[in-house]
Chain A
Amino acid sequence: MKETWRLIDMRIEDAPTQMAIDEAIAMARLKENTPNTVRLYRWNPSAVSIGYFQGIEKEVNLPACEKYGVDVIRRITGGGAVYHDYNGEITYSLVAPEADPKMPADILESYELICGAIANGLATLGVDAEFKPVNDIVAGGKKISGNAQTRRHGVVLQHGTVLVDTDIRRMFQVLRVSDAKISDKLIKAVEDRVTNLRRYLGRQVGFDEARAALLKGFEDTFDVSLEPGELTDAENRLVKQLHEKYSSREWVFQR
């Protein structure tokens, strides 16, 4: 009998809600004895998330975000800035206790395992992807996923982005990669470093297809069955509290 983990499947929410749900699941995991959980989700409206330690003005073109209606949020995890394109990106998160026999104590090994689940999922679509330390997944030498992990409350929380058909031009309008204007030359340079499922496979990849592949990757890698479920009442209460934090200027603009 396979172990069962909870799946919170493809919720579409705004940025503060998504970040509040990830943190709430991590907080509740041991305290409320909730199951290990995998989420897949999308951000509506599209949003930029920045790493906990990043300077917001340095990483984000705030006027461009305002102009295009893109939310900006700070994560509890470190790592870099990500553009979560509602029409072209899937985010995953995984929460399991640090002491779980399936979770390596070593941080690098746990990244390797969880990113391996993503890579295994993408392999079912025909993508030859692999984990690239520190925290990326690359396909054909180009980044297709960025990942970020924290450990708190005795649990591992890792979330990450999978680029399905991201609008690369918009991505580099809202992220401050360079002070230079977004020229075709820069777009070209970016295309040499970043890819997505559509570009890599040379065909449209729907969210349903990408979702199924990622779920299979998690199930096979962790040898578990993912069973669709909902947040508990306790988690929903935490989400409500945490939503306030993530929406606040104090949190988002703290550095």
Chain B
Amino acid sequence: MKRAEYKIPGGKLLSTELVVEGDRMVGVKITGDFFMHPETSIIDLEKALDGIHTADLEDTVKRFFKENDVTLFGIHVEDFVKVVRMALES
């Protein structure tokens, strides 16, 4: 299990845990005290990341927020990429 915690500039905390299997990531969980609505989008984001090639992280996250009508507050799209990348590199 790989984990990372990232303090977003401005104060919110973002954490992730995931498992790397070969060159893919599975079981990605994202937690924290940020704001995102609709809130259930987090489940869809985790699903979108499940099983992807680790090299596709940034494209997958960016595509997810482009294709879905999600409002972020206290957090930016790049923060999700950053925390997952930190976990992958841990």
Is the C-beta of A237 less than 8 angstroms from some C-beta in chain B?
Answer: no
When C-beta atoms are compared, the residue in chain A nearest to B17 turns out to be A55
Q: Is B39 an interface residue (CB 8 A)?
A: yes
Kindly state the separation between the CA atoms of A76 and B31 in the bound complex, as whole angstroms.
14
A residues 69-110 in Cβ contact with B at 8 Å: 76-81, 107-108
Say yes or no: A53-B36 contact (C-beta < 8 A), given A58-B15, A58-B31, A255-B31.
Answer: yes
Q: Decide: A150 and B39 in contact? CB cutoff 8 A.
A: yes
Q: Given known contacts A58-B31, A133-B10, A134-B11, is B36 in contact with A152 (CB within 8 Å)?
A: no
Task: Please determine whether B71 and A55 come into contact, CB atoms closer than 8 angstroms.
Answer: no
Docked complex: B37-90 residues within 8 A CB-CB of A: 37-39, 42, 71, 73-74
How far in angstroms is the closest Cβ of chain A from B44?
13
Give Cα A134 to B12, complex, Å. 8
State whether A54 and B37 are in contact (beta carbons under 8 Å apart), knowing that A134-B10, A134-B73 are contacts in the complex: no
Cα distance A148–B37 in the bound complex, in angstroms: 12
Question: How far is A77 from B71 in the complex, measured between Cα atoms in Å?
Answer: 13
Q: Are A53 and B11 in contact (CB under 8 A)?
A: no
In the complex, the chain B residue whose C-beta lies closest to that of A149 is B35
A77 to B31 alpha-carbon distance, docked (Å): 13
A40 to chain B, nearest CB (A): 23
Q: Which B residues lie within 8 Å of A135 (CB)?
A: 35, 74
Interfacial chain A residues near B37, Cβ < 8 Å:
78, 150-152
Question: Which residues does chain B contribute within 8 Å of A255, judged by CB atoms?
Answer: 29, 31
Bound-state CA distance A108–B72 (Å) is 11
Closest A residue to B73 using CB positions:
A107
* A31 CA to B87 CA, complexed, in Å: 44
**Complex interface: chain B residues within 8 A of A108 (CB):** 73
For residues 123 through 160 of chain A, which have their beta carbon under 8 Å from a beta carbon of chain B? 133-135, 148-152
Most chain B beta-carbon neighbours within 10 Å: one of A81, A133, A149, A150: A150
Query: Is A52 engaged at the interface, CB distance under 8 Å to the other chain?
Result: yes
Q: Does B30 contact A (CB under 8 A)?
A: yes
A250 CB to closest chain B CB, in angstroms? 13
Residue of A nearest to B33 (CB): A80
Identity of the chain A residue whose Cβ is nearest the Cβ of B38 in the assembled complex: A152
Closest residue to A78 on the B side, CB-wise? Answer: B35
In the assembled complex, the Cα of A152 lies from the Cα of B34 at a distance in Å of 17
Q: List 28 A-B contacts (CB under 8 A).
A: A51-B33, A52-B42, A53-B30, A53-B32, A53-B33, A53-B34, A53-B36, A53-B39, A54-B33, A55-B31, A76-B39, A77-B35, A77-B39, A78-B34, A78-B35, A78-B37, A78-B39, A79-B33, A80-B33, A81-B33, A107-B35, A107-B73, A108-B73, A134-B10, A134-B11, A134-B74, A135-B74, A255-B29
| Extra pairs beyond A54-B32, A78-B35, A78-B73 (16, CB < 8 Å) | A52-B39, A52-B42, A53-B30, A53-B31, A53-B34, A53-B36, A55-B29, A78-B36, A78-B39, A79-B33, A107-B71, A107-B73, A134-B74, A151-B37, A152-B37, A255-B29
Q: Which 4 A-B pairs have the closest CB atoms?
A: A78-B35, A80-B33, A134-B74, A55-B31
Chain A residues within 8 Å of B, Cβ to Cβ: 51-55, 58, 76-81, 107-108, 133-135, 148-152, 255
